[in-house]
Amino acid sequence: MHSLAGRHILLGISGGIAAYKAAILTRLLKKAGCDVRVAMTEGAQAFITPLTLQALSGNPVHTSLLDPEAEAGMGHIELARWAEVILIAPATADLMARLAHGHADDLLTTLCLANSACWVMAPAMNQAMWAHPATQRNARQLESDGWTLLGPDSGEQACGDVGAGRMLEPEAIFSALSTLMDELPALAPAGNVLPAAGLTVTITAGPTREALDPVRYLSNHSSGKMGYALATEAIALGAKVRLISGPVALPTPEGVERIDVESALEMQTAAEGALDDSDIFIGCAAVADFRPAEIATHKLKKQAGEAQMHVVLTRNPDIIAGIASHSHERRMAGQPSPLVVGFAAETRDVICYARDKLTRKRLDMIVANDVSTPGLGFGSDSNAATLLWHEHDTIAQQAIDACPKLALAREILLRALTLHHRKTDIGPRKRR
Ligand code: C5P
């Protein structure tokens, strides 16, 4: 049974081109067993008909505040009380502005004002509108009022522009909502503080380079994109972020402290140096398992007639296993210790290898992904993964379908934050 089964979801749809995707979202929610009721603004009805949503949700669609027939069925206050979560997708710039100012000039805004459960929205608009200081101000206001904003995504827009403003895909919204519905009540302390506020997250990212001589090295194809996406999202969730980065061609996300390293040994030194003040440690780097046993002082020269060259390699330390082991010792001694999250990039038997690594390396959680899927993983902007963690005496797991790495990063962080809060015994809190 899906964790969303039986939940009362009020899906609000406002008037943007992404409104047609609300149909897919409704289907996903219904398939998961949710009880879905839909409220549409007037603008939304220009893009998709209430009849479509009625057929998909299996319930009458609510469109007007002043409709005596609808009010006789389920009045707006009753509907607001019924909803465990209000999910608005798409949320237009205008709707965001009205909500940020507490308007109640149509059914959807009135429902939001009258509801005190969990509020989630997926903004969707032209990139210039999203970037406008007024929208950004409204977004901050909404977050501080208790709204969780999912996205927007970046990319090509219906109007031909390219940039941030696209609505997240319905699958990504659905999977983020699943995590939020399970976990966010336990995350957000009263006063709407961001869920990672006050926490330090250390992330390793990118490849390592293992020198053979002054001009050559052994390395791998890691682009660092996943680690950098994690750093970006951890900042958005309010954390202090330290990024220990191998050589990559990526800009440092704003607000992140970046420590550049080359070899596995340098990465290990930086990681161990960060242990003391990290609340969450995420090992996303593709660390070389071996390094040349000796680094030649001068450039190696090929000899005449030499058909082969033998290089002796030495095993590199397993950085994350070392961090996890220190963390474990501290936990046993009752001292503060970071929650340790690893990655398992595999080409076969993905879950099986990931389970083994989770236990063997004494990690708190592992992100397993199949790097043999074309278009996903290494170098790509998207990824799919399964999160695995210890739950009582078993290993729990959560599959996340292919989505932008930023959306995946948020899911990973939300799960890690939940486990961290549980570990530090903050206990469940009400969302607002
Ligand atoms: O064993 P494997 O390399 O597949 O494990 C992957 C996980 O272990 C990743 O989290 C990676 O960052 C970490 N790792 C490490 N040091 C190594 C090898 C892997 O921290 N030497």
Nearest partner of 63 among 157, 204, 52, 206, judged by Cα: 52
Q: How far is the CA of 318 from the centre of ligand 1 (A)?
A: 6
Give the mutation target among 226, 243, 280, 318 for probing the ligand 1 site: most ligand atoms within 8 A of CB: 318
Q: How far is the CA of 271 from the centre of ligand 1 (A)?
A: 13
Residues lining ligand 1, judged by CB closer than 6 Å?
Answer: 204, 264, 283, 285, 287, 289, 316, 318-320, 342-344, 357
Ligand 1: nearest atom to the Cα of 316: 21
Q: How far is the CA of 286 from the centre of ligand 1 (A)?
A: 6
Per residue in 420-429, pLDDT (tens digit) is 877 764 333 3
Give the mutation target among 340, 343, 355, 365 for probing the ligand 1 site: most ligand atoms within 8 A of CB: 343
Ligand 1: nearest atom to the Cα of 363: 10
Q: How far is the CA of 204 from the centre of ligand 1 (A)?
A: 10
Could you confirm whether 352 is annotated as catalytic? no
Give the mutation target among 209, 320, 353 for probing the ligand 1 site: most ligand atoms within 8 A of CB: 320
Q: Which fold has domain 8-187?
A: Rossmann fold (3.40.50)
pLDDT value, residue 93: 98
The residue annotated as part of the active site, out of 34, 118, 159, 403, is: 159
Q: How far is the CA of 389 from the centre of ligand 1 (A)?
A: 17
Could you state, in order of their start, the residue ranges of all structural domains in the chain?
8-187, 200-424
Whether 200-424 and 8-187 are alike in CATH topology: the answer is yes
CATH architecture, range 200-424: 3-Layer(aba) Sandwich (3.40)
For 267, residues 6+ apart whose C-beta sits below 8 A from its C-beta are 204, 208, 244, 246, 261, 285, 287, 319
What would the DSSP string read from start to end of 317-335?
P-HHHHHHHHHHHHHHTT-
Q: How far is the CA of 39 from the centre of ligand 1 (A)?
A: 47
**Interatomic CA distance for residues 222 and 285, integer angstroms:** 8
Give the mutation target among 282, 284, 287 for probing the ligand 1 site: most ligand atoms within 8 A of CB: 287
Per residue in 227-275, pLDDT (tens digit) is 999 999 999 888 999 999 999 999 999 999 999 999 999 999 999 999 9
**Residue 22 DSSP SS3:** helix
CA 332 remoteness from chain centre: 30
Run means of pLDDT, 10 residues per run, the chain, 432 residues = 79 97 97 93 97 95 83 78 91 98 94 86 96 96 92 88 93 93 51 73 98 97 95 92 98 96 98 96 98 97 92 98 96 93 94 97 96 75 90 85 87 88 50 36
Please confirm whether the linkage preceding 50 is cis (ω < 30° from 0).
no
**Contact criterion met (CB below 8 Å) for 122 and 171:** no
Q: How far is the CA of 319 from the centre of ligand 1 (A)?
A: 7
pLDDT value, residue 1: 59
Segment (H or E) for 178 = helix 170-187
Positions of E strands within 71-151: 85-91, 118-123, 147-149
CA 241 remoteness from chain centre: 15
pLDDT value, residue 184: 47
Among protein residues, the one with the nearest Cα to ligand 1's atom 5 is 344
Segment (H or E) for 365 = strand 365-370
The Cα-based distances of 35 to 7, 64, 85, 155, 211 in angstroms read 6, 20, 11, 32, 58
Ligand 1: nearest atom to the Cα of 288: 21
Residue at token pair 């336990």: 186
Ligand 1: nearest atom to the Cα of 271: 20
382: tokens are 């998207």
pLDDT value, residue 373: 80
289: tokens are 């398992």
